[in-house]
């Protein structure tokens, strides 16, 4: 069956396939095919490295995003006029008209300075919440490592701190911290910062440095008293699919009263996500250069092949082969090497990316090292999130570079003159 298939191929394919394989006796042909094999291996390694690195970067991005959204809401709705949202329950009902909205909770947020002792002073974002409603929009209650998140009761002025913030303030459960707000109170002696003592009743660990080191929770009624507000500042919403947050934010605008601003989680952390995307693009370009170097090794391989096969080219020309046919022969040879290299690289990269949770622990146990320390990174395993669009893009780029590398040698082969090539034969 294979012979029948081969016999039906155009002669350009037959010759190109033969040139790709090593000759039986010729050491020169074997050397050229060895160089082709090296080029194929270089393309495969570059493609595999690109797939693995992007998968690991996607894994870290997914891990960090998940930890951020365990504290952040997917969508926030608040009154830009500073009047708050006294009818937040009605607005929550309006939000639930969108089927993507699965949870809602009111909030108040402000910046403050927290102090414990004489010299320890730290800035923090203080968020006023309803403890019974907060699990609808975040997982901070589940991340409470010490104490009890539900101890945030109205009028008791309790506070839950991030673990790094608690360490910086050198406080434990039951200790007192003083909260100072920028909004001051006018007195005969001047403007005095608004201050209040809070009792630490919980310490959470979200696994994200920004929140563990700069976020605190208090009861929403206590926050309203501190800020002298008569209602919550707005609503925090959780969606069924966080990736649809930008679209859902647009869909919610007609459901909310005028003057309401709606922000999704990607806008709340726009700088971080822009930096991650820029880093991924630059990493793609840098690693694609490795694939390009391997692909352009095909130029030297094909040039050597053309030089070695000039008598064969001359014979084919005298038998009636056109310059376009000669060019196709060497394009086919280079394209086969590039395509096989890209295919091997895709297969190897996908295999490693899908099994990195097994491969990395094996390497760590064999070498006696640990790539990620839990004390520093909060995780001890290398995450991986392989995405087929990335794999497709990488494979297409590798094959395209291989095709580009064949253009000049093939064009040069098509310009070989039969008489000159056979002069010394």
Q: Does position 23 have pLDDT exceeding 70, yes or no? A: no
Q: Which residue has the higher pLDDT, 210 or 96?
A: 96
As a whole number of Å, the CA-based R_g of the chain is 33
* 61 and 78 assigned to the same domain: no
Give the pairing of strands 215-219 and 158-162.
antiparallel
Per the DSSP assignment, residues forming a β-bridge with 162 are 204
The answer to whether residue 232 sits within a structural domain is yes
* 60 and 108 assigned to the same domain: no
* 164 and 292 assigned to the same domain: no
The answer to whether residue 2 sits within a structural domain is no
The answer to whether residue 5 sits within a structural domain is no
* 139 and 97 assigned to the same domain: yes
**Could you tell me if 124 and 111 are in contact, meaning their C-beta atoms sit under 8 angstroms apart?**
yes
* 327 and 397 assigned to the same domain: yes
Residues 316-359: pLDDT tens digits? 777 777 878 888 888 888 888 888 889 999 999 999 999 988 88
The answer to whether residue 3 sits within a structural domain is no
Residues 48-65: pLDDT tens digits? 999 999 999 888 888 888
**Could you tell me if 265 and 74 are in contact, meaning their C-beta atoms sit under 8 angstroms apart?**
yes
* 90 and 228 assigned to the same domain: yes
> If you count them, how many residues does the chain have?
425
**Could you tell me if 264 and 75 are in contact, meaning their C-beta atoms sit under 8 angstroms apart?**
yes
* 354 and 406 assigned to the same domain: yes
List the structure tokens of 380. Answer: 């001890």
**Could you tell me if 285 and 46 are in contact, meaning their C-beta atoms sit under 8 angstroms apart?**
no
List the structure tokens of 108. Answer: 């108040």
Enter the pTM of the model.
0.74
- For the chain, percent of residues with pLDDT exceeding 70: 85
User: Rounded CA gap, 358 and 183, in Å?
Assistant: 54
* 238 and 292 assigned to the same domain: no
The answer to whether residue 356 sits within a structural domain is yes
* 315 and 173 assigned to the same domain: no
The answer to whether residue 44 sits within a structural domain is yes
| Residue that terminates a domain, selected from 244, 264, 284 | 264
Q: Which domain holds residue 183?
A: 74-264
Q: Does position 94 have pLDDT exceeding 70, yes or no? A: yes
| Residue that terminates a domain, selected from 233, 264, 295 | 264
List the structure tokens of 263. Answer: 């922000």
2-33: b or e for each residue (b if 16 or more CB lie within 10 Å)? eeeeeeeeeebeebbeebbebeeeeeebeebb
Quote the number of domains for the chain: 2
Whole-number Cα distances in Å, 374 to 62, 291, 365, 370: 18, 34, 16, 10
| Residue that terminates a domain, selected from 264, 297, 313 | 264
The answer to whether residue 168 sits within a structural domain is yes
* 294 and 382 assigned to the same domain: yes
pLDDT interval class at 296 (50, 70, 90)? confident
Could you identify the residue written with the tokens 């007609």? 254
* 236 and 110 assigned to the same domain: yes
228's torsion region: left (phi>0), alpha (psi -120 to 50) or beta?
Answer: left
The answer to whether residue 110 sits within a structural domain is yes
List the structure tokens of 19. Answer: 């040139």
pLDDT interval class at 34 (50, 70, 90)? confident
**Could you tell me if 256 and 235 are in contact, meaning their C-beta atoms sit under 8 angstroms apart?**
no
pLDDT value of position 5? 46
* 82 and 188 assigned to the same domain: yes
**Could you tell me if 63 and 379 are in contact, meaning their C-beta atoms sit under 8 angstroms apart?**
yes
User: Which contacts qualify for 29-33: CB closer than 8 Å, 24 or more apart?
Assistant: 29/308, 32/301, 32/304, 32/305, 32/308
């Amino acid at each position: 069956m294979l012979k029948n298939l081969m016999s039906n191929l155009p002669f350009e394919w037959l010759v190109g396939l033969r040139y790709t394989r090593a000759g039986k006796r010729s050491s020169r042909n074997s050397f050229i095919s060895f160089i082709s094999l090296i080029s194929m291996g270089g393309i495969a390694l570059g493609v595999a490295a690109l797939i693995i690195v992007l998968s690991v970067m996607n894994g870290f991005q997914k891990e960090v995003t998940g930890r951020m959204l365990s504290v952040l809401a997917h969508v926030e709705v608040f009154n830009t006029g500073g009047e708050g949202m006294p009818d937040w329950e009605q607005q929550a009902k309006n939000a639930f008209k969108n089927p993507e909205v699965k949870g809602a909770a009111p909030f108040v947020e402000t910046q403050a300075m927290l102090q414990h002792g004489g010299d320890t002073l730290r800035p923090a974002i203080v968020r006023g919440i309803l403890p019974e409603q907060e699990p609808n929009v975040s997982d901070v209650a589940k991340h409470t490592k010490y104490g009890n998140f539900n101890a945030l009761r109205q009028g008791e002025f309790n506070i839950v701190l991030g673990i790094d913030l608690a360490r910086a303030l050198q406080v434990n459960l039951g200790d007192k911290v003083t909260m100072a707000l920028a909004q001051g109170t006018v007195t005969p002696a001047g403007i005095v910062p608004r201050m209040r003592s809070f009792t630490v009743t919980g310490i959470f660990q979200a696994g994200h440095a920004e929140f563990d080191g700069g976020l605190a929770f208090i009861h929403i009624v206590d926050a309203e008293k501190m800020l002298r507000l008569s209602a919550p500042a707005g609503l925090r919403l959780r969606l069924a699919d966080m990736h649809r947050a930008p679209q859902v934010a647009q869909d919610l605008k007609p459901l909310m009263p005028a003057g309401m601003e709606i922000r999704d989680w990607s806008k709340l952390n726009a700088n971080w996500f822009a930096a991650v995307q820029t880093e991924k693009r630059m990493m793609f370009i840098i690693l694609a250069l490795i694939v390009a170097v391997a692909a352009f090794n095909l130029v030297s391989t094909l040039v050597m092949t053309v030089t070695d096969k000039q008598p064969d080219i001359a014979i084919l020309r005298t038998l009636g082969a056109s310059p376009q046919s000669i060019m196709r022969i060497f394009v086919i040879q280079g394209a086969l090497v590039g395509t096989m290299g890209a295919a091997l690289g895709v297969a190897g990269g996908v295999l490693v990316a899908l099994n990195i949770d097994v491969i990395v622990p094996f390497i760590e146990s064999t070498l006696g090292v640990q790539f990620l320390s839990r004390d520093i990174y909060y995780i001890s395993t290398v995450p991986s999130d392989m995405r087929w669009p990335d794999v497709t893009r990488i494979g297409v780029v590798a094959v395209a570079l291989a095709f580009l590398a064949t253009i000049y040698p093939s064009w040069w082969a098509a310009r070989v003159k039969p008489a000159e090539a056979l002069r010394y034969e």
